[in-house]
Structure 1
Amino acid sequence: MSSAFDFDFFWGNFGFLLKLAAPFAVIMVSIYAVGKLLEVIIRAVKSKGSA
């Protein structure tokens, strides 16, 4: 059974892929967060200007 599921190999590859993908994920999340922040600021400025 242990030969069918080589967890050391699996976790090694999973960790490698995670390290490889983490910077891209951080970049994507930060771009999304900045976009949301700008959206909130623009909405606040528009509502203040119309009031």
Structure 2
Amino acid sequence: MGSIGNVWDWAFFWNTFGFILGIVASFVLIIVAIYAVGLLLQMVVKAIRDRR
């Protein structure tokens, strides 16, 4: 019985995995940026309300 490494095309697997990860990472980055801006706006509004 041969090595199981010969069954899988690891180069194709990692290229596909990297491609999918690159696509998903951009969407995750957008979501995190929106969340961060929301937190920042919340802090600014709270600071303005507390000042009065």
Give me the TM-score of the superposition, normalised by structure 1: 0.76
TM-score scaled by length of structure 2:
0.75
Q: Which runs of 5+ in 1 are unaligned?
A: none
Computing the radius of gyration from Cα coordinates, the structure with the larger value is 2
Identity %: 41
1:23 matched residue in structure 2: 26
**Count of paired positions:** 49
CA RMSD for the aligned pairs? 1.4
Counterpart check, 1:35 vs 2:10: no
Q: CA deviation at 1:21?
A: 1.4
Distance 1:31 1:42 in 2: 16
